[in-house]
Amino acid sequence: MGTEGGTFRVIAGRYRLEARIGRGGMGVVWRATDQLLGRRVAVKELPQDETLSEADARLQRDRTLREASAVAQLRHPHVIVVHDVVEQDERPYIVMELIDGGSLADRIAAHGPVDAAEAARIGADLLSALRAAHEGGVLHRDIKPANVLVESGTGRVVLTDFGIAQVAGATTLTETGSFVGSPEYTAPERMSGVRTGPEADLWSLGALLCTALSGESPFRRDSLGGILHAVVIDEIRPPAQAAPLLPVVRGLLERDPGRRLDAVEAERMLRAFLDTGRTPPRRAPERSYTPTQRDLPLRRPAVLRDHPLRRSAPERDQPPRPSPAPSRSVRGVRAALAGSRRGALLAALLVAALAGAGVSAALLADRGGDGNGRTGPGSSAPGTPTAGSTSGTPTAGSAPGTPTTGSVPGTPTAGSTPTAALPIAPSGYRVAEDPAGFALAVPEGFGREPQGERVFYVSPGETFRIGVRVVEPEPGGPLGVMRRAAAKGPAVNPGYRDGRVTSTAHRGHPAALWEFTWDGFSAAEGARHTYDLCWEADGRLYDVWVSAPVGKVREAKEHFDVAVDTFTAT
């Protein structure tokens, strides 16, 4: 290996290539000797694209050399050291330090997942490396276990393979010509094809932590289309092994880049875990911004009003805590999530786009919600009123079209079509007019968190979670949907118990109530109870649920009753 005609190949008159030690989509890595300084090094030989014209090939080489030179300026103990960038026979080579040790992917394959402390150590070191890279204007864009080296003996963590890195202000050939990276670790905003920032690297690190803890990425699927759907649309369910680091993992795997956990805060939380054995809560981000109408809570007079032009109204309910307006790509993804058919269409479009961009199956070789964890239509979370509840939900046998006691005036009756009238919020609640096409009353202080086809309104600290899902009707109706979900309860809800499904009605429409207790997604979260009501009306399947700690069931039931009573399709 590394020889030509029985002799070692020497490039730039200095580096003797002795043995090939790695090969990937971005080139071949050689073990080599720097004959001038007498030291061992690693040399990456970057491939040539034979389809390019001579001018484009030269442009590619120039960009590669320029961006490799930028990476060479980085000085950090957890970033691979780039010694030199050279060119031989019109082919670029990157000369780097030689690490005695394998990759994190090799380690997981040979010895299985790591424990929470080791994952926290690796994650904190990588976050420190990413901060240095981002401050230097360099985005990595391919964070995955195969690109993390662990030095033998010292355990030093080294981020390597900046082969598709992007320098701020520069346009890379890979960016204009094809999709690059590993889909299982690629942020949803990058999937959309728009220009991305440092937040995309942080998403990839969140997926890497899940892999280190469980042995595989949470987005691994049997096909490229399945991976894209999981990244962009499906509910994100971190593995059970991530429980000790769950606040960090959830924060990094936030689909909205504006709400994603930043590198400084994520590193602080992981190092606190290493020091104390507990992951502290996330601190509120300190961001300066100019409030927009989207940031302000919805205010309406205490009377019902028709809104025939609601879709053009500037007021859209957002979490009461201010947050930066989502990026164009995130808004596009949210819009696509309004219905299951549109979500499927988005996944199909993404598959077509990536296929057209030259994504191959070789990329794959590198490679929960709240309450019930269902992934198919109707997989809503807890939050359904029981038959005969004081919420105003009708019991079985209610006359179709007859408003129940306590129901909100102006809500549609059986056989009617949804109107633009919005519900009135009881004291302590506010009306949330959701972009997904519904409105309901939620407690003051609850913030909106979309997750795929589901929309959550959660309390600070996520003690209470109100979930909503609107999808196409399914075989068997609401009762069939709830029974199938209950059958899967033990598999998707840790410690699932005391589950029961009851046939009922809601505003004269067929409905089913599912109620159960489970252990939560972590020991720290504790046991939780879920109420979940599913009903069909006007050709749609509606699912509303509430989940809360078992010690706060009475408050949860109140939130649930209010949510169901005030729910209005818009």
Note whether 385 and 470 are same-domain residues.
Answer: yes
318 falls within a domain: no
0.75 surpassed by pTM: no
What pLDDT score does 175 carry?
39
173 falls within a domain: yes
Q: Which of 97, 127, 143 is the last residue of a domain?
A: 97
146 falls within a domain: yes
Closest CA to 504 of 481, 480, 479: 479
CATH number at residue 128: 1.10.510.10
Domain range for residue 88?
3-97
What pLDDT score does 570 carry?
87
* Stretches in the chain below the pLDDT threshold 70: 1-7, 24-26, 67, 163-181, 194-195, 284-420, 521-525
> Rounded distance, CA 407 to CA 410, Å?
9
Note whether 377 and 462 are same-domain residues.
Answer: yes
DSSP state of 79: B
**Rg over CA atoms, the chain:** 27
Closest CA to 232 of 197, 194, 199, 183: 183
> Rounded distance, CA 161 to CA 488, Å?
42
Q: pLDDT digit string (tens) for 183-194?
A: 899 999 988 776
Closest CA to 244 of 195, 209, 287, 194: 209
Q: Which of 125, 142, 161, 370 is catalytic?
A: 142
Note whether 92 and 136 are same-domain residues.
Answer: no
Note whether 388 and 522 are same-domain residues.
Answer: yes
Q: Which of 319, 336, 365 is the last residue of a domain?
A: 365
Note whether 361 and 473 are same-domain residues.
Answer: no
Beta strands 509-518; 528-537: pairing state: antiparallel
> Rounded distance, CA 448 to CA 459, Å?
9
482 falls within a domain: yes
- Count of domains in the chain? 3
Note whether 433 and 564 are same-domain residues.
Answer: yes
Does the CA dihedral 188-194-199-201 come out positive or negative? Answer: positive
Q: pLDDT digit string (tens) for 319-334?
A: 333 334 444 444 443 4
- 536 membership: H or E segment, kind and range: strand 528-537
Note whether 446 and 411 are same-domain residues.
Answer: yes
Note whether 73 and 173 are same-domain residues.
Answer: no
What pLDDT score does 162 carry?
74
117 falls within a domain: yes
320 falls within a domain: no
32 falls within a domain: yes
Does the CA dihedral 491-495-497-500 come out positive or negative? Answer: negative
142 as an active site residue: the answer is yes
**How would you classify residue 202: left for phi > 0, otherwise alpha for psi between -120 and 50, otherwise beta?**
alpha
Does the CA dihedral 8-11-17-23 come out positive or negative? Answer: negative
Note whether 91 and 108 are same-domain residues.
Answer: no
> Rounded distance, CA 12 to CA 228, Å?
42
Note whether 68 and 118 are same-domain residues.
Answer: no
CATH number at residue 385: 3.40.1000.10
Burial of 79 per CB tally in 10 Å (0-12, 13-18, 19+):
buried
What pLDDT score does 319 carry?
36
Residue whose structure tokens are 């309910």: 317
Please state, in angstroms and as integers, the Cα–Cα distance from residue 539 to each residue in 254, 326, 344, 416, 534, following that order.
32, 31, 19, 12, 13
Q: Which of 342, 365, 388 is the last residue of a domain?
A: 365
Note whether 142 and 181 are same-domain residues.
Answer: yes
Burial of 399 per CB tally in 10 Å (0-12, 13-18, 19+):
exposed
Q: Residue 547 carries which side chain, given as an amino acid letter? A: S
Note whether 443 and 530 are same-domain residues.
Answer: yes
What pLDDT score does 520 carry?
80
488 falls within a domain: yes
Residue 9 Cα to chain centre, angstroms: 45
CATH number at residue 38: 3.30.200.20
